[in-house]
Amino acid sequence: MEVLPADQFTFEQLTDAYNQTRVDYLVPMPMNVARLREYAHVYDVNLPCSCVAVAGETMLGLGMLGLRDGRSWITRLGVLPSGRRKGTGNAIMTWLIDRSAQNGVDAVWLEVIKGNDPAHRLFRKYGFSETRDLIVARRPPGVDTGFQPSPIASITNLNHEDALILLAHRRQPANWLNQSESLQNVRNLSALQIEMANGGKGWVTYHAGLLQLTRILVEVIQGDPVEVTANLLYALHDRHKRQDAVTENLADDAVWQGFQAIGYFESFRRIEMIKPMKSSRGFLPRR
């Protein structure tokens, strides 16, 4: 087996290998070429620092590395079911951590779905520790939770640029998926800012697709986090009655309780894990 840089492969080959590694996955997440390209763009995946494990002509597995200032992110890691437990996962992890060290990052990040014991053990073996649980949640359109909105002083609609400014001033630590760097790579974000009669204040940013609302992130600036969040989301879904909604990697906190009050339910949980690195800053290869 040898490990080769992923930029020696086409997106078609990478997509095919990725899908084969996930045929028996806990949560089905098939990719097509366009989605994998978009994913690599939004999350700053660096293909020369990502890798594919091969034996002759056969692709055995792959792993991708996102690179940002001072940190890296391991993603899309997988080994074909027929080739597991033979050291391929180890070889891919070693490659990705070596590339992270060469780039002088302070920490390597990743997430693992709760209940994925083989991957969780693999990451612990490489020195990753759990930082927090992250929730992936959905809400179908037309849910009636009986929620009664509080008196509102004002609701302001904001555009993409305004949404990015709000996101840049978040107080809560963001996961890789929701960091400003990711959201700057997404087109057409929107935001709503709310001021409640009782002084509560907050905002929600989101992407409104034809069928689905995604990238829904809430920040409460003042007031009761459950109440402000629920009122923001009530206003959001009042404006987008027909779309399904998905939100990824929410912390398990009072804001999440506000999501639940408006009909969001948990699909699954990820565990965020971080490995601190002692390396110094260095060269960042081109994407």
Ligand X SMILES: CC(C)(COP(=O)(O)OP(=O)(O)OC[C@H]1O[C@@H](n2cnc3c(N)ncnc32)[C@H](O)[C@@H]1OP(=O)(O)O)[C@@H](O)C(=O)NCCC(=O)NCCS
- List residues near ligand X by CB under 6 A: 21, 25, 77-79, 84-90, 112, 116-119, 121-122, 125
Q: CB-wise, 204 or 273, nearer to ligand X? A: 273
Q: How many CA atoms lie within 13 A of 25 on its CB side?
A: 19
* Position with the least CB separation from ligand X: 89
Amino acid at 166: L
CA nearest neighbour of 107 among 77, 68, 135: 68
In the complex, the smallest distance separating the C-beta of residue 45 from ligand X, rounded to whole angstroms, is 15
Q: Answer yes or no: are the C-beta atoms of 100 and 136 closer than 8 Å.
A: no
In the complex, minimum distance from the CB of residue 270 to ligand X, in angstroms, rounded to a whole number: 8
- CB 274 → ligand X: shortest distance, Å? 14
Least Å from the CB of residue 17 to ligand X: 11
Complex with ligand X: residue 79 or 158, whichever CB lies closer: 79
Q: Which is nearer to ligand X, 83 or 202 (CB)?
A: 83
83 vs 258, beta carbon nearer ligand X: 83
Residue 119 or residue 166: which is nearer to ligand X going by CB?
119
- The residue among 116 and 131 lying less far from ligand X, judged by its C-beta, is 116
Residue 54's contacts (CB-CB under 8 Å, 6 or more residues apart) are: 1, 2, 3, 4, 60
Look up residue 252 and give its amino acid.
D
Min dist CB 157 to ligand X, Å, is: 37
Q: How far is the CB of 35 from ligand X (least distance, A)?
A: 17
Instruction: Report the residue number, 29 or 165, with the smaller CB distance to ligand X.
Output: 29
**CA 272, CA 114: separation in Å to the nearest integer?**
10
Min separation Cβ 115 and ligand X, Å: 10
Exposed e or buried b per residue across 232-243, where buried means at least 16 C-beta atoms within 10 angstroms of its C-beta: bbbbbbeebeeb
CB of 239 vs ligand X, minimal distance in Å: 35
Choice between 120 and 240, CB closer to ligand X = 120
Q: Contact, 150 vs 196, CB < 8 A? A: yes
156: burial class by Cβ within 10 Å (0-12, 13-18, 19+)? exposed
